[in-house]
Chain A
Amino acid sequence: QSVLTQPPSVSGAPGQRVTISCTGSNSNIGAGYSAHWYQQLPGTAPKLLIYGNTNRPSGVPDRFSGSKSGTSASLAITGLQAEDEADYYCQSYDSSLSWVFGGGTKLTVL
């Protein structure tokens, strides 16, 4: 059982908007530690998608955006494309456990 809770799966049609939630607690996201998001394509290493709750590294399309509220964070993907089909993970820092990940969410593009 992961410290950060994500839905196991989400889906959407091309062009639609999907969101993925990440629920933490007062010892991680709620304590002020940033939430970060990763995209993992099959057979590859995770790639940093969003850092510091809302920031995109260079090269990440602005279709991807992040937000944080209280003990939770969210990843939104607009204008869904077939190439977005992947696993998505949230990550934060926990005052007791150090680095922690969500269980991952599989995005299916219908």
Chain B
Amino acid sequence: QVQLQESGPGLVKPSETLSLTCTVSGGSISTYFWSWIRQPPGKGLEWIGYTYYSGSATYNPSLKSRVTISVATSKNQFSLKLRSVTAADTAVYFCARAGDILEFDLWGQGTLVTVSS
């Protein structure tokens, strides 16, 4: 059974870079689209971007200038970097798998990242 697990610091200082990794277990990362999605406290879901095992990536236009998503197929992992963070980037960050018709059929449990000095 495929599972996703986010990992990374839970506290990031303003203006610094948020870095998270999602580990895929029980299956290969070399298929499907792999995404990051976030949810600010008490608010809705926001798609951040996706990557494919080939390394190609597409980002939400509203975050594109600050985001990089990369994949490490040998480790069965993909990662998120969000630069120049502010308090508005405080959120639960989820990694997720997108299926054949672009539905998110598998989610990690999520990790809360707080931006604060």
CA distance in complex: A40, B108 (Å):
13
Of the 9-residue stretches B17-25, B43-51, B68-76, B82-90, which lies at the interface with chain A? B43-51
The answer to the question of B7 belonging to the interface, with a C-beta cut-off of 8 Å to chain A, is no
User: What count of chain A residues pass the 8 Å CB interface test?
Assistant: 25
Pick the residue among A91, A92, A98, A103 that contacts B58 (CB under 8 A). A98
Beyond A89-B45, A101-B46, A102-B44, is A47–B102 a contact (Cβ under 8 Å)?
no
* Cβ of B74 to closest chain A Cβ, rounded Å: 26
User: What count of chain B residues pass the 8 Å CB interface test?
Assistant: 21
Pick the residue among B35, B101, B107 that contacts A46 (CB under 8 A). B107
Of the 9-residue stretches A10-18, A19-27, A31-39, A69-77, which lies at the interface with chain B? A31-39
The answer to the question of B10 belonging to the interface, with a C-beta cut-off of 8 Å to chain A, is no
B-to-A contact residues, CB < 8 Å: 35, 44-47, 50, 58, 60-61, 94, 98-99, 101-105, 107-110
